Copies of this chain bind each other. A is one copy, B any other.
Amino acid sequence: MPDLTTHGDDEAAVNALRSAVMRLSRRLKHQRVDESLSPTEMSVLGTLARCGTATPGELARKEHVQPPSMTRIVALLESKGLVKLEPHPEDRRQKVVTQTERAEAMLEESRRKRNAFLASLVEGLDEEEWAKLRAAAPVLEKLAHL
């Protein structure tokens, strides 16, 4: 575990990381495959892709929105054919939300588009820079999941 309080270099690196990550994410976010989906709708699909299925209440907690908002979001996604709602097997108050194949395809297309954009940026690097970034990619992934 690095001690960041002592080295000025570390502090500069953290600052550079924060700035770059925020700026890069803003540009990646603009690379959208479907303009008709709100950020939260996209995020819900992403959550479903990771977790398989979830109840509206679970989704509300994970997305940090209130239950009534999630009711509306899920209804919109259903009307667009991106999720389907089924009765909960054990509790008749709850519902189970599952993403459709169409949603999966859309997410894959979205990832593909953003990857292509990022790849086009990477073309502006030289081999040595890209090697450094490639080596850091798994670390950045670990960091994001900590």
Point out residues on A near B: beta carbons under 8 Å.
1-2, 4, 9-11, 13-30, 43, 64, 111, 114-115, 118-119, 121-127, 129-130, 132-146
What is the CB-to-nearest-CB distance from A28 to chain B, in angstroms, rounded to a whole number?
Answer: 6
Indicate if the CB atoms of B24 and A140 lie closer than 8 Å.
yes
A145 to chain B, nearest CB (A): 7
Q: Which residues of B contact A133 (CB under 8 A)?
A: 13, 17, 136, 139-140, 143
Verify B140–A1 contact, CB threshold 8 A.
Answer: no
27 A–B contact pairs at CB < 8 A? A1-B126, A2-B123, A4-B122, A10-B122, A13-B134, A14-B119, A14-B122, A15-B111, A16-B140, A17-B140, A18-B114, A18-B118, A21-B144, A22-B25, A22-B28, A22-B29, A22-B114, A24-B25, A24-B144, A27-B144, A121-B143, A125-B139, A125-B143, A129-B139, A132-B136, A132-B139, A133-B139
